[in-house]
């Protein structure tokens, strides 16, 4: 079993669960509880849409983490092309989330740290530190 793949999967799951649970508790619930004069937040349809958009990154991170865990537990399950796809999709999604989180938070935050580590672990696990097409 590749420990870097396992680490990437666990970090991806931690990011997804933390974003979904903590976001629901500390961002969405207070936002929806006190909408103030914002008519968008008073509409049930808008609240459902905002909630879905909030949880979409968590869902994507969990799917990538699941595929990474599958590869970690059964290396023969994926061919080289599938691993390359997982590499670019996983690193692309994780690092995009990390960069935008760092930008939004204006600095280090547990979310961008976990996603960066998940991305780097996935990269080094699949490539061994080299470029994937060498």
The predicted-structure confidence for 35-50, as pLDDT tens digits, reads as follows: 999 999 999 999 999 9
Q: Is the pLDDT of residue 129 over 80?
A: no
pLDDT tier at 128, thresholds 50, 70, 90: confident
Chain mean pLDDT for the chain: 94
Which residues have CB under 8 Å from 28's CB, separation 6+?
A: 50, 51, 54
* 7 touches 67 (CB < 8 A): no
The pair phi, psi for residue 58, each rounded to 5°, is -60, -40
pLDDT of 6? 97
Q: pLDDT digits over 52-73, tens only?
A: 999 999 999 999 999 999 999 9
pLDDT at 21 exceeding the cut of 60:
yes
Residue recorded with tokens 């849409």: 49
Query: What are 122's two structure tokens?
Result: 């996935």
CB 5, CB 121: distance < 8 Å: yes
Confidence grade of residue 77 (pLDDT, cut at 50, 70, 90)? confident
pLDDT bracket for residue 131 (50, 70, 90): low
What's residue 33's pLDDT? 94
* CB 133, CB 83: distance < 8 Å: no
């Amino acid at each position: 079993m590749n420990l870097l793949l396992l680490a990437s999967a666990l970090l991806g799951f931690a990011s997804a669960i933390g974003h979904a649970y903590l976001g629901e508790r500390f961002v969405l619930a207070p936002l929806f509880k006190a909408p103030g004069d914002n008519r968008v937040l008073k509409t049930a349809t808008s609240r459902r849409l905002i909630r879905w958009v909030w949880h979409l990154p968590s869902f994507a991170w969990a799917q990538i983490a699941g595929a990474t865990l599958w590869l970690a537990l059964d290396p023969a399950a994926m061919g080289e092309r599938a691993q390359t796809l997982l590499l670019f999709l996983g690193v692309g999604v994780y690092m995009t989330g990390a960069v935008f989180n760092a930008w939004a938070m204006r600095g280090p935050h547990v979310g961008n740290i976990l996603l960066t580590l998940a991305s780097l672990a996935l990269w080094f696990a699949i490539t061994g530190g080299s470029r994937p097409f060498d």
